[in-house]
Amino acid sequence: MFTFLGETMSRLIPLPIPAAIWGLILLLLALMLKIIEPEQIKETSRFLAALLPALFVAPTVGLMDQGKTLLPQLPAVILIVALSTVLTFGISGMITQKLRKGKQAESHE
């Protein structure tokens, strides 16, 4: 259902956002608004999470196949990956701390 709605939104809204992202946003909203419960998607979520490693094999092989083409850009790629990893860790940590402080404040009230 969310895939269909995402496809529809992607066609109707003139933004460069893929249909899959629209579908995930709608799913998140439905979960946040308690339109659907996590238990309703638990089994499917676990199945898809188990498939994730297999989904990365083809792109990785493709990158290895283009090694000579990518080699001159390797230092820039390593720098970007390192910086984005550090940035992701930092932002994730700050968000987690804020959420934990918010939950602790709620429990003390």
Tokens 């090694």 — which residue? 67
Find the domain containing 21 and state its range.
1-55
Q: From residue 105, how far is each of 31, 32, 41, 91, 100 by CA, in Å?
A: 23, 20, 30, 21, 9
Q: Based on the domain organization, do 109 and 80 belong to the same domain?
A: yes
Q: What is the pLDDT averaged over residues 33-57?
A: 91
Task: Give the end of a domain, one of 14, 30, 55.
Answer: 55
Q: Based on the domain organization, do 23 and 49 belong to the same domain?
A: yes
pLDDT band with cut points at 50, 70 and 90 for residue 108: low
Tell me the percentage of the chain whose pLDDT exceeds 90: 62
Q: Based on the domain organization, do 50 and 64 belong to the same domain?
A: no
pTM, two decimals, is: 0.56
- Give the count of domains, the chain: 2
Q: Which residue has the higher pLDDT, 92 or 67?
A: 92
Task: Give the end of a domain, one of 55, 71, 90.
Answer: 55
pLDDT for 104 equals: 75
Q: Based on the domain organization, do 1 and 48 belong to the same domain?
A: yes
Q: Based on the domain organization, do 77 and 41 belong to the same domain?
A: no
**CA-to-CA distance for 43 and 40, rounded, in angstroms?**
8
Task: Give the end of a domain, one of 55, 70, 90.
Answer: 55
**CA-to-CA distance for 99 and 92, rounded, in angstroms?**
11
Q: Based on the domain organization, do 7 and 38 belong to the same domain?
A: yes
Q: What is the pLDDT averaged over residues 79-97?
A: 95
pLDDT for 21 equals: 94
Whether 23 contacts 45, CB under 8 Å? no
